[in-house]
Amino acid sequence: MANINGIRVFVKDEQFSHSAEVTKHKVEKGLPLTDNVQRNASTITIKGEIVGSNASNDINTFRGYMEDAVLIYYVGRNYTLGNYVITNFETSHPNTIWGGCSFTMTMQEVRFAKSSYLRKETASTAKVTNASKAQLADVTTTATTNQSVKSTSDTGTKSVVGGEKTKEQKDSENRTNINASYVKMGYKCIWYTCKKGDTIYTLFGKSNAPFKKYKDVGRYGFGNDWTNEKIRAVNKSSMSDNKTFIAGKRIIVGYEKG
């Protein structure tokens, strides 16, 4: 058995591929000269079977992982891999397999670039930076002395009175404003606790997504107003990237008449 982002599948074969590119410069005599060797991204191709009562959902989940470029954590017979994405997923449904399918999946190693931009600090920006540090020190001292700290009920984060708003606070305010607009129309929010591997596609997009109904046009009287952008805006602090939710986080999945 193997494990792909928490989903168990039966794997019969693992084919791991390493390769590299070598530069070649022709010379008049002898072998070409080489001045650089660059490793290519590793790939692994697995073959096996997806069976069981949840086989159909698992197949759709893997398709969603590929379409949404979700990072894969794979624990197999011989390899444990992270930072891979699915580049190919094929299924076959022979009469020898009941309630499932055989499959072939190829996953490729990925690496994300970091920004090469560095801000050049001038005398004016240095003054602003130092002033900001001094202001932060004053705010921290005031909060420690007066215990002037309040908690937000939704996110559990803390804000210092008089200080600059944190990212979590801004996200919470954005959520509150959107909620208020729906409450005025007589709707209440529906909550869900995320599991590992949950994405906008698996929860709202695919054909059998559990919360797809909240995006159906006209179902609850406000058309297709519950867009992916609204979902991201309301649950921004509970997402690890633009598509994936953080396991254990509580998110708003839709609204219903109160």
Query: Which residue bears the tokens 């001038």?
Result: 122
pLDDT at 101: 94
Task: Fill in the amino acid letter for 95.
Answer: N
Between CA 224 and CA 209 the distance in angstroms is: 16
pLDDT at 85: 93
The confidence score (pLDDT) of residue 173 equals 66
Cα–Cα–Cα angle for 15, 18, 24, rounded to 5 degrees? 145
Q: Which residue, among 238, 168, 179, has the nearest Cα to 203 in the 3D structure? A: 238
The residue among 108 and 171 whose pLDDT is bigger is 108
Which of 258, 215, 252 has the alpha carbon at shortest distance from 234?
A: 252
Q: Which long-range contacts (CB under 8 A, 24 or more apart) does 58-62 make?
A: 58/7, 58/9, 59/91, 59/101, 59/103, 60/202, 60/206, 60/207, 60/208, 61/7, 61/197, 61/202, 62/4, 62/7, 62/86, 62/89, 62/103, 62/105
Q: Please state, in angstroms and rounded to a whole number, the distance separating the CA atoms of residues 18 and 85.
A: 16
| pLDDT tens digits, 159-182 | 434 455 566 666 666 666 666 666
Which amino acid appears at position 64 of this protein? Answer: G
Give per-residue pLDDT as tens, 49-102: 999 888 989 999 999 999 988 889 899 878 888 889 999 999 999 988 888 999
User: Per residue in 192-249, pLDDT tens?
Assistant: 899 999 998 999 888 888 888 776 544 444 445 677 888 888 788 888 888 899 998 8
Average pLDDT over residues 148-154: 38
Does the structure show a pLDDT above 70 at 123?
A: no
Give the DSSP H or E segment for 149. Answer: strand 149-151
Rounded Cα distance between 258 and 190, Å, is 10
In the predicted structure, residue 134 carries a pLDDT above the cut 60:
no
pLDDT of 35 reads 83
Compute the average pLDDT of residues 114-140. 55
Amino acid type, 164: E
The answer to whether residue 44 scores a pLDDT higher than 60 is yes
Q: What is the mean pLDDT of residues 110-137?
A: 59
